[in-house]
Every structure is written in C-alpha cells, then in structure tokens.
C-alpha cells in the first residue's frame, strides 16, 4: 500500500472518532467494570477510565449505562483517557446552583460522609459542608443517614471554590413554617384531617397535624363517658379527626373525634320516650345517684331519690357496682343539656298511695330496726316503707340521749302508729305507747316534799339531772343549788334531794336539795 493511500485511510480512521478536548464534559457508555476502575467508551480512539469510587449509587454502575464524564487528560501513560464523573457532576451542579438558587433557598442533598466538625453533603454534584451544629439528625440512625436524601437550606455559596455551606436545622424550621402556612391557608372548620397523637394529658390529647398541633379535648373524643384519654388513644396513634375551631392569631386548633360518628342524641326522644322501661349498665356511682349507659354514647342518671320509695338516706355504693345491669324507667329527657332522668322506684307501685289505709293511727305493727339518726330509729315496716321512732317516744320516764342505748340494728320490734303523712312520706311510730302512761302513778308515789337519794347522771347550765330509779330522772334546778356546792358535784355522786314539783302533762319532776 503506497504512502498516500495509507495516509488517507489513517485520516478517515481518525475522522471516525469524536473530537474531545480536555476540560469538557462528554457522554459515554460503561463497557467494563473493574475492581478499582470503570472503563467508559466516549467515542474516542481509546477508552477512558473513571475511578470506581466515583460511582456511589449501585444503579449507576451497570454495563451499557450512559454517563456524563469530565475529560481530565486525553492520554495517560497507558494511552488511556483520564475521566472524572465527580467533576462532571460538579460542573452541572454548579451551573444548576448558579442559575437557579440563591442563599436561603432549600435544596435536596445526600449525606456522603462524616468529617471533623460535621458532614459532607452532595448537592447536585457539588460538595456542601454541613456543620454539626446545624445538622439536627437526632432520631435518624447512621445507616439511614449515610446516602439518605434530605432537605437543606443554602447558608453560603462559595463562588471561588464552587462549594456550599448548608443547614439541615434551618431547612427543618423553614419546612415547618411552610407547612404551617399551607395548613392555615388550605384548612377550614369542618375539614377531616389525619394526625399523629403527640402527647396525652388528663384533659385531652395533642395531635400533630404536620407542623401544627391541635387539641382533642376529652369531651370531644367519644359520645360515651370516658375517665381518661388513654382509654381510647396512645402516643404514636394515627387518627382521623374533624377540625372544630381554628384561631390563626393564637395558633390554636380544636379537634373532634366523636364528630366523625353520628350523634346518638339526634333521635333520643324516639329511642327512649318518656315512660319507657328499658335496661342499662351501671357506668358510674356517685353519692347523689347512679349513671346508667342505655347505649353507646347515651347515659342517664338515677337520682338517689328515685332509687327507693324509702325517704331516708341510701348508700349507692352498697346497692350498686360498676357493670351491674339494671331495669329503669325514663322520667325526663333534656336533649339540649344531654340529660336523661331515670328511675327504679317508678317500676313499682307507689306504696305511699295506700299507706294511710294500710297503717292506721293507733294500730300496733311489727317491724325491723333498719337504721339510726341522732334523734331516732328507723323501722322497716315492709319492703318499701320506713317509719321512725323519735327518742321522745321510746320511754315514758327515761331521758334517751342515744337511740342505740335501747335498740339494735336488725332487732324486731312492735310499735304503735302515731301518724301517717303520705304527702311528705313520713310515718311516726311510738315504742312507749305500747305501755300505759305511768305519770299519774308517779305523782302519787312521789308527793311534794318527799326526800330521796339519787345518782347524778348529768350536769348542764340549768341544773343537775338526778336518777331516782333506773328509769326515772328528776331535775335539780340550778337556783336550788348554792354555787360552791354546784362546783363540787360530779357525775356519779350520790345526792339527797326532795320533790318540789311533779308535772304530769310535761312528764317532768323538779327537785331541790334535801336537808
């Protein structure tokens, strides 16, 4: 082959390759993957090499994959083109930053490695430095951190070095600010939103709505009664709630959970009409009554006065237990106040309607002592009615200070009906009336002037009571006792007195000192 033809072929051969220059970015295809280097065909007469460590993502390192590279040298000692993928990316990144971003803007970046004082962040191929003080990666594991994509705020652009200083802390704050602004702009009362339970207190739960916290009050959690928010929610729960109220100035949002369901009180008059008999479960017991759940979200109160026809005090804790099923009658419904009045005693006939005919005045009846007060004892006459024996009707002659001196709870007694007041639900009973009034006989046994020795039973500011017999006392008037003598008289002392007055109607004996 002559020299002219050879030169022509050489020229054609060289023309078939791209004309590349050092310092420019070109496209090529990966043709071989080595341990340290990656071989890239850029269409030149020789292939180029790129350090394998410049391929950080596994999906970038595939034979046939097209990549952009920077031409560092057209030929090394081995006749290979020296290429750099990092420098190509850095140039593109710089162009992107230079043309589209400024200090204060948010950018996406990948954490490349940890260095002294912070982290190196890859931002569109550029190296950005993230100071540790601006990192804010408290709840991110190191595995998720390295190579992870995050938002960063550009703090400083170094034009000479083509590098950045970035802040994750300020990006998070800006993201939150943007999210909050978007929330107040796009949300309105009545919207249904999803949130994360952030904190639980006695009065409710705080819900993170994505940059904005809302309060879900305990009263807006359920139509049913709950004692504590933790009965329904736990920290970390994701729930759907309704926005009930919003105040941008105070940054307060009120939320509702029960509003996601139909109000059970909507058809309350039709569900539980007045007079209806129904059953329910005891859910709360208080001194003034018992709360009964008729259905989920519907509770009524049995007031203590509607538990029994007996008028005396009832201990609700003794009669009921949480979870008891009870039959009740609906007395009244106040839909606006969400209150239902219930009754147990109305299920039975009113025993006071025929009390006067059943317990006629003067009749002797038998009952059981069911309780005491300071001034008397209650007697259970039948299953529904109680009468009371006042202390003044327990003995003709004895001054009863405590009814339990004479009677015991559960004791069966015979008494006399003294009066029946059906309207005020009172039956007065007498114990002493079973016996004849002894005061006529006492007046004859103790004529005026009679002297007798007795025991001092008590002292007060108007005299001294003296027990003449086990069941008979007289009053030694204060004006009948010299002061010096009164001061030395003690309870239990024996003292000689004389009868100076017997009042049969008032059933009293007046005494003076004898001798």
pLDDT for residue 137 is more than 70: yes
CA atoms within 13 A on the CB side of 125: 19
**Residue 61: Cβ within 10 Å count:** 15
What gap in Å lies between CA 141 and CA 127, rounded to an integer? 22
Q: In the predicted model, what is the mean pLDDT of residues 452-477?
A: 90
DSSP 120-179: EEEETTEEEEEEGGGT--TT--HHHHTT-EEEEEEEEEETTTTEEEEEHHHHHHHHHHHH
The tens digit of pLDDT for each residue in 482-515 reads 888 888 899 999 999 999 999 998 899 999 998 6
Q: If you search the block for the tokens 């239902």, which residue do you land on?
A: 340
DSSP 275-323: T-EEEEEEEEEETTEEEEEEETTEEEEEEGGGT-S--S---HHHH--TT
Phi/psi of residue 98, nearest 5 degrees: -65, -35
Q: How confident is the model at residue 2 (pLDDT cuts 50, 70, 90)?
A: low
pLDDT of 429 reads 94
Give the containing element (helix H, strand E) for 334.
strand 325-334
Q: In the predicted model, what is the mean pLDDT of residues 378-394?
A: 86
pLDDT for residue 161 is more than 80: no
SS (HEC) of 490-502: CCCCEEEEEEEEE
pLDDT of 312 reads 64
- What residues pair up with 15 in beta bridges, in sequence order? none
Q: In the predicted model, what is the mean pLDDT of residues 390-400?
A: 89
Cβ(253)–Cβ(211) below 8 Å = no
Which homologous superfamily is 268-347 in?
Nucleic acid-binding proteins (2.40.50.140)
More confident residue, 92 or 58: 92
Query: Which of 71-80, 84-93, 334-343 tops mean pLDDT?
Result: 334-343
Which homologous superfamily is 441-513 in?
Nucleic acid-binding proteins (2.40.50.140)
pLDDT for residue 59 is more than 70: no
Q: How confident is the model at residue 313 (pLDDT cuts 50, 70, 90)?
A: low
Distances (CA, A) of 88 to 27, 68, 472: 10, 6, 122
More confident residue, 138 or 461: 461
Distances (CA, A) of 97 to 18, 103, 106, 337, 376: 30, 10, 11, 63, 96
Cβ(451)–Cβ(498) below 8 Å = yes
Closest CA to 119 of 107, 106, 129, 133: 129
Q: Is the dihedral of CA 230, 236, 237, 240 positive or negative?
A: positive
User: What percent of the chain has a predicted confidence (pLDDT) above 90?
Assistant: 30
pLDDT of 241 reads 92
Strand pairing category for 277-286 and 252-256: unpaired
Closest CA to 42 of 29, 31, 55: 29
Q: Is the dihedral of CA 255, 260, 261, 265 positive or negative?
A: positive
Domains 268-347 and 441-513 agree in fold? yes
Q: How confident is the model at residue 9 (pLDDT cuts 50, 70, 90)?
A: very low
What gap in Å lies between CA 509 and CA 477, rounded to an integer? 10
Which homologous superfamily is 101-173 in?
Nucleic acid-binding proteins (2.40.50.140)
Query: What is the dotted CATH code of the domain comprising 351-434?
Result: 2.40.50.140
pLDDT for residue 383 is more than 90: no
In angstroms and rounded to an integer, the radius of gyration of the C-alpha atoms of the chain is 50
Q: Would you mind telling me the total number of residues written for the chain in this entry? A: 515
pLDDT for residue 144 is more than 90: no
Cβ(344)–Cβ(303) below 8 Å = no
Dihedral of the alpha carbons of 385, 375, 401, 379, in degrees to the nearest 10: 0
Cβ(458)–Cβ(474) below 8 Å = no
More confident residue, 390 or 159: 390
Q: Is the dihedral of CA 404, 409, 410, 413 positive or negative?
A: positive
What gap in Å lies between CA 292 and CA 278, rounded to an integer? 11
Least confident of 12-26, 51-65, 278-292, 431-445: 12-26
List alpha helices for 341-438, DSSP H: 355-358
The tens digit of pLDDT for each residue in 237-273 reads 999 999 999 988 888 999 999 888 888 888 888 889 9
pLDDT of 124 reads 77
pLDDT of 308 reads 83
Strand pairing category for 81-84 and 48-51: parallel
Q: What is the assigned CATH class of domain 187-260?
A: mainly beta
CA angle at 170 for the pair 165 and 172, rounded to the nearest 5° = 125
Three-state secondary-structure class, residue 401: coil
Cβ(47)–Cβ(37) below 8 Å = no
What gap in Å lies between CA 319 and CA 317, rounded to an integer? 6
The tens digit of pLDDT for each residue in 29-49 reads 888 888 888 888 888 777 888
pLDDT of 125 reads 75
Two tokens at 363?
A: 């009749």
Per-domain residue ranges for the chain?
A: 18-88, 101-173, 187-260, 268-347, 351-434, 441-513
pLDDT of 302 reads 92
The tens digit of pLDDT for each residue in 466-480 reads 999 888 999 999 998
The tens digit of pLDDT for each residue in 281-297 reads 999 999 999 999 998 88
Tell me what the pLDDT averaged over the chain comes to. Answer: 84
pLDDT of 122 reads 82
pLDDT for residue 27 is more than 70: yes
Cβ(498)–Cβ(454) below 8 Å = no
pLDDT of 322 reads 92
pLDDT of 327 reads 93
Closest CA to 307 of 322, 323, 286: 286
What fold does the segment set 18-88 form as a domain? OB fold (Dihydrolipoamide Acetyltransferase, E2P) (2.40.50)
The tens digit of pLDDT for each residue in 178-198 reads 888 888 888 899 899 999 999
Two tokens at 27?
A: 């496209």
Three-state secondary-structure class, residue 102: coil
SS (HEC) of 207-238: EECCCCEEEEEHHHCCCCCCCCHHHCCCCCCE
pLDDT of 266 reads 82
pLDDT of 13 reads 42
pLDDT of 57 reads 62
């Amino acid at each position: 082959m002559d020299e002219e033809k050879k030169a022509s072929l050489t020229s054609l051969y060289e023309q078939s390759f791209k004309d590349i220059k050092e310092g420019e970015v070109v496209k090529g295809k990966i043709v071989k993957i080595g341990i340290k280097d990656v071989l890239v065909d850029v269409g030149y007469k020789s292939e180029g090499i790129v350090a394998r460590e410049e391929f950080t993502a596994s999906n970038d390192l595939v034979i046939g994959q097209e990549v952009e590279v920077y031409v560092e040298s057209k030929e090394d000692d081995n006749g290979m083109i020296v290429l750099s993928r990092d420098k190509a990316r850095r140039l593109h990144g710089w162009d992107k930053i230079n043309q589209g971003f400024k200090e204060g803007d948010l950018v996406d970046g990948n954490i490349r490695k940890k260095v002294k004082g912070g982290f190196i962040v890859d931002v569109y191929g550029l190296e950005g430095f993230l100071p540790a003080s601006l990192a804010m990666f408290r709840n991110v594991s190191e595995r998720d951190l390295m190579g992870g994509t995050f938002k960063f705020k550009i703090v400083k652009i170094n034009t000479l070095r083509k590098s950045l200083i970035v802040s994750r802390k300020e990006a998070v704050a800006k993201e939150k600010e943007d999210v909050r602004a978007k929330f107040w702009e796009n949300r309105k009362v009545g919207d249904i939103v999803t949130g994360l339970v952030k904190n639980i207190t006695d009065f409710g739960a705080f819900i993170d709505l994505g940059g904005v916290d809302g309060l879900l009050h305990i009263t807006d959690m359920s139509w049913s009664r709950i004692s504590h928010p933790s009965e329904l929610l736990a920290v970390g729960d994701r729930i759907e709630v309704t926005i009930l109220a919003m105040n941008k100035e105070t940054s307060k949002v009120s939320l509702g959970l029960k509003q996601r369901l139909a109000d059970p009180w909507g058809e309350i008059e039709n569900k539980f009409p007045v007079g209806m008999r129904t059953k329910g479960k005891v859910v709360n017991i208080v001194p003034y009554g018992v709360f009964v759940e008729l259905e989920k979200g519907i509770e009524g109160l049995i007031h203590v006065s509607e538990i029994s026809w007996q008028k005396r005090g009832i201990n609700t804790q003794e009669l009921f237990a949480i979870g008891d099923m009870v039959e009740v009658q609906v007395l009244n419904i106040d839909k606006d106040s969400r209150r239902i009045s219930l009754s147990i005693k109305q299920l039975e006939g009113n025993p006071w309607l025929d009390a006067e005919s059943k317990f006629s005045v003067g009749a002797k009846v038998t009952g059981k002592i069911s309780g005491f007060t300071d001034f008397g004892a209650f007697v259970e006459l039948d299953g529904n009615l109680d009468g009371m024996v006042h202390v003044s009707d327990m003995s003709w002659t004895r001054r009863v200070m405590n009814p339990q001196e004479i009677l015991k709870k559960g004791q069966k007694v015979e008494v006399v009906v003294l009066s029946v007041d059906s309207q005020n639900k009172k039956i007065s009973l007498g114990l002493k009336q079973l016996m004849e009034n002894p005061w006529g006989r006492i007046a004859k046994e103790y004529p005026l002037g009679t002297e007798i020795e007795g025991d001092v039973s008590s002292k007060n500011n108007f005299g001294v009571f003296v027990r003449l017999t086990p069941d008979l006392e007289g009053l030694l008037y204060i004006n009948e006792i010299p002061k010096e003598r009164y001061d030395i008289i003690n309870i239990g002392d024996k003292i000689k007195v004389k009868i100076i007055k017997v009042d049969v109607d008032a059933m009293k004996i007046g005494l003076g000192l004898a001798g």
